[in-house]
């Protein structure tokens, strides 16, 4: 009985190690997905917030003398 129980415990330990490795890969995948999302969506929006007043001022100065 002890040998059978020990074998089952070893099988479960191997499966847990496999699950842990899989979860770590998934965690790294989600982390890089978050980083890429921030870099491609949030940062351009922040740049736009700071660049929009300057752009509007430049366009207003360029087209301000046309009398439209």
**pLDDT tens across 6-60, in order?**
999 999 999 999 999 999 999 999 999 999 999 999 999 999 999 998 888 888 8
Distance in Å from the first CA to the final CA of the chain: 94
Q: What is the pTM of this model?
A: 0.62
Residue 66 is classified by DSSP as: G
Residue 40 is classified by DSSP as: I
Residue 64, pLDDT score = 78
Residue 68, pLDDT score = 56
Residue 8, pLDDT score = 96
């Amino acid at each position: 009985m002890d040998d059978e129980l020990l074998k089952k415990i070893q099988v479960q330990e191997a499966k847990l190690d496999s699950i842990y490795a899989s979860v770590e890969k998934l965690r790294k995948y989600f982390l890089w997905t978050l980083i890429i999302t921030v870099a491609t969506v949030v940062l351009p929006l922040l740049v736009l917030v700071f660049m929009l007043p300057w752009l509007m001022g430049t366009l207003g100065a360029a087209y301000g003398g046309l009398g439209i």
